[in-house]
Amino acid sequence: MKRIYLGLLLMSASTFQSQKFPDMKAPVAEKQEHIREIHGDKVNDPYYWMIDYFKKGKDSTKVVNYLKAENTYWEGMMKDTEPFREKLFQEMKARIKEKDESVPVFKKGYYYYSRTETGKQYFKYCRKKGSLTAPEEILLDVDKMAEGHPYYAASGFSISPDNTKMIFGVDNISRRQYSLFLKDLTTGNIIDLGIKNTGGSAEWANDNKTIFYTENNPVTLLSEKIKKHILGTDPGKDATVYEEKDKTNYISVYKSKNEKFLLIYSGATTSSETRYLDADNPNGTFRVFQPRMKNVLYTVTPLEDKFLIKTNKDALNFKIVETPIDKTGVENWKDFIPHRNDVLMESVSVFKNFLVFGERQNGLSQLVVYDRKTGKKEFLKFDEPVYTVYSSGNPEYNTDNFRFGYTSMITPNSQYEQDLKTGKRILLKQQEVLGGYNKENYITERLFATAKDGTQIPVSIVYKKGFKKDGNHPLLLYAYGSYGSSTDATFNSNRLSLLDRGFAMAIAHIRGGQEMGRQWYEDGKMMKKKNTFTDFIDAGEYLVKEKYTSPKHLYAQGGSAGGLLMGAVINMSPNLWNGVISQVPFVDVVNTMLDTSIPLTTNEYDEWGNPNNKEAYFYMKSYSPYENIEKKSYPNLLVTTGLHDSQVQYFEPAKWVAKLRDMKTDKNVLLLKTDMEYGHGGASGRFDYLKDVALVYAFMFKLEGITK
């Protein structure tokens, strides 16, 4: 591993930083012996006791008191930034058009949209019948519904086929466990259906009285059953139409766009299975489309006369195959869009006369229009070097108008509509950035960093004109790099508060994502996971080499699995970063993956490995951030978590910070902020989350000596 810009340069940075923070005594966590022994390996985990709140709930006051002590510490250390943070909050909030409205989407005779009001944190979900000049019908006033709740999320707005009823889910704890409600759109009455622990949505059968929903395990949060509920009946007697026995699979239920079928999807990282049922016959039995096959993923899209299937069977980058309506087995599958080595097939949007494929080539997203009558294909073209384009807002099947979103690091989120017959394209709406934003004042580039094994790692970067590449300017490098999730270059108005103060911001498209195709993901998971971390380090070193920044001005940020990335890179290359922001970080990989009572554990064996396997155990242990803390210097760190986090439990970052405090030899600052009311996604309101962004920015600005 390279060790660059060590010694005097790093020492001077630490000395300078220590003068900026008050001399407060950090909390010291108690140690209790807890021995983990597996595969002949014995490890003492002195902070294991921090799991008690998760296991015992409110009875564990010691855990809560420790988290509160850490909160008191970070608040004291950042006390002098309070006025600046408030300024940043107001600055970012002022760019948001408070009174706004989404582009109306037409479905079955109604235009649906949401709108926000000045000073309100949430939104109103509305519709108009037949015409945009028709009277407005407020379906849900989420602003009013959220009153009195520190956290409130409403989701899964599902309208009955006859347009008279709506099902929606509510989570007011932030554990992603939703209760289902019914609103009668003729009377306005809202009824609690008594259905809890769901995924947050339901699908209607065509009889307007039967719904299907996903039921989650209340402890592990795993999606385990698909249930059927008939309105007006006792939910305690709801029939289970499917139960998933494989604890590595997620399940869901959805309705085809042409409304002919209800489909149940069961999938893990490497294989999947679909069941289907005629939506006109809700009391029928779901049939298996094709039994799950080892290392084969597939998703099903019904058309009038056949099924389209996106699959990776004999196709690393996925392809589209077709099969007759009455012959769904794999032996009947025929290529429709063949596999290509250089193109990742990601999605298909279906219309009566056209198909639109979402693809990815050379790291960039693209849309391809396919005429179902002629077979002609056309690529939608765009000019910027780095951008993101995606299908958006197309619920109507019988239309030739296709809507898509477009954005880049300098172009605000834009929604277009294209006539698929004529090719005529119109801009329906572009995100309005208040305060006079001009994209011509900013520059975006696409760079390639060379990894240690010779792989070219794409890097998207943005900065304000006038930014000098002399190594003296701050740069924030972000990445995620897991689950095959691609981190695309998009616009964020909050980022202007960084760019306008001299920062550059970059995204490293590292392995573990899927930006460069499916192999990009395969090369950054399981026993190749370390590629994710070394790619990020190599991207940082490249930006230093090219004088975009230097180690005393380089910052890194990642959240969740991206927080694992942050923990790994500060162990592997601690001297490359001046400051690191690790948000809701997955940093205790081995212990979490050994505990099947923790949400998501069994679902993720195909991502990280099962540590009950000796080889997987020792590989995980070799990179898990918590396991690899050493007595050495670490960069300045801001770590955030939520007490009710459903994805990465609070005790992972808490244990990690406690061990770092005990082991690190530097005087750099280490802060842990625990939100005692929220979970994985932070605050639910559209403005409250900006306070967390302001804290992250103020942390970096404080290290840079930027005070206004």
The CB-side HSE value for 582 (13 A sphere, CA atoms) comes to 30
What's the gap between Cα 491 and its chain centre?
Answer: 16
Q: Is 72 helix (H, G, I), strand (E, B) or coil?
A: helix
Return the HEC string of 578-602: CEEEEECCCCCHHHHHHCCCCCCCH
Predicted confidence (pLDDT) per residue in 42-55, tens digit: 999 999 999 987 77
DSSP output for 592-644 = HHH-TTSTTTGGGHHHH--TTSHHHHHHHHHH-GGGG--SS---EEEEEEETT
Distance CA 446, CA 455 (A): 16
Query: Lowest-pLDDT range, 416-420, 464-468, 594-598, 656-660?
Result: 594-598
- Record the pTM: 0.88
Q: How far is CA 10 from CA 15, 20, 520, in A?
A: 9, 16, 34
Distance CA 69, CA 453 (A): 44
Distance CA 361, CA 241 (A): 40
Q: Is 80 helix (H, G, I), strand (E, B) or coil?
A: helix
Q: Is 285 helix (H, G, I), strand (E, B) or coil?
A: coil
For residues 512-540, average pLDDT: 97
For residues 485-499, average pLDDT: 96
Give yes or no for residue 569 having a pLDDT over 90. yes
Burial class (CB in 10 A: 0-12, 13-18, 19+), 230: middle
User: What does the pLDDT read at residue 685?
Assistant: 64
The CB-side HSE value for 340 (13 A sphere, CA atoms) comes to 13
291, amino acid identity? P
**Is 509 a catalytic site residue?**
no
Predicted confidence (pLDDT) per residue in 187-240, tens digit: 999 999 999 999 899 999 999 999 999 999 887 778 899 999 999 999 999 999
What's the gap between Cα 630 and its chain centre?
Answer: 31
Give yes or no for a contact between 206 and 259, defined as CB atoms under 8 angstroms apart. yes
Higher pLDDT pick, 15 / 262:
262
Partnered with residue 110 across adjacent β-strands are 107, 129
- Percentage helix, strand, coil for the chain under 3-state DSSP, each rounded to 5: 25, 35, 40
Distance CA 598, CA 591 (A): 10
Tell me the backbone φ, ψ of residue 609, rounded to 5 degrees.
105, 165
DSSP output for 157-176 = EEE-TTSSEEEEEEESSSSS
**Residue matched to tokens 């300098």:** 410
Q: What token pair was written down for 471?
A: 């190594």
397, amino acid identity? Y
The DSSP element (H or E) to which 659 belongs, if any, is helix 651-663
Q: What token pair was written down for 694?
A: 């302001």
Give yes or no for a contact between 207 and 230, defined as CB atoms under 8 angstroms apart. no
Catalytic residue among 497, 560, 582, 684: 560
**Residue matched to tokens 């402890």:** 219
Partnered with residue 39 across adjacent β-strands are none
Tell me the backbone φ, ψ of residue 699, rounded to 5 degrees.
-60, -50
What's the gap between Cα 261 and its chain centre?
Answer: 28
Distance CA 451, CA 510 (A): 10
Distance CA 538, CA 121 (A): 40
Distance CA 573, CA 554 (A): 13
The DSSP element (H or E) to which 350 belongs, if any, is strand 343-350
Whether the CA torsion 534, 536, 540, 542 is positive or negative: it is: positive
The closest alpha carbon to 276, from 241, 323, 311, 318, belongs to 241
Give yes or no for residue 102 having a pLDDT over 70. yes
Predicted confidence (pLDDT) per residue in 161-202, tens digit: 999 999 999 998 777 789 999 999 999 999 999 999 998 999
Partnered with residue 344 across adjacent β-strands are 360
User: What does the pLDDT read at residue 687?
Assistant: 78
Give yes or no for a contact between 325 and 307, defined as CB atoms under 8 angstroms apart. yes
Return the HEC string of 373-433: CCCCEEECCCCCCCCEEEECCCCCCCCCEEEEEEECCCCCCEEEEEECCCCCEEEEEECCE
Give yes or no for residue 17 having a pLDDT over 50. no
Distance CA 248, CA 23 (A): 48
Q: Is 311 helix (H, G, I), strand (E, B) or coil?
A: strand
For residues 415-423, average pLDDT: 95
**Which 8-state DSSP code applies to residue 186?**
T
Distance CA 111, CA 130 (A): 7
Burial class (CB in 10 A: 0-12, 13-18, 19+), 293: middle
Q: Is 89 helix (H, G, I), strand (E, B) or coil?
A: helix
Catalytic residue among 229, 339, 509, 680: 680
Give yes or no for residue 305 having a pLDDT over 70. yes
Other beta carbons within 10 Å of 153: 20
**Residue matched to tokens 């971390």:** 533
Catalytic residue among 645, 646, 675, 684: 645
Plot region of 61 (φ>0 → left; ψ -120 to 50 → alpha; else → beta): alpha
User: What does the pLDDT read at residue 599?
Assistant: 73
Predicted confidence (pLDDT) per residue in 130-154, tens digit: 999 999 999 999 999 999 888 888 9
Give yes or no for residue 64 having a pLDDT over 70. yes
For residues 62-76, average pLDDT: 95
The closest alpha carbon to 544, from 449, 666, 668, belongs to 449
User: What does the pLDDT read at residue 172?
Assistant: 84
Q: What token pair was written down for 568?
A: 């790994």
92, amino acid identity? M
User: What does the pLDDT read at residue 680?
Assistant: 52
**Which 8-state DSSP code applies to residue 77?**
H
Give yes or no for residue 511 having a pLDDT over 70. yes
Give yes or no for residue 338 having a pLDDT over 80. yes
Distance CA 640, CA 580 (A): 11
The DSSP element (H or E) to which 110 belongs, if any, is strand 110-116
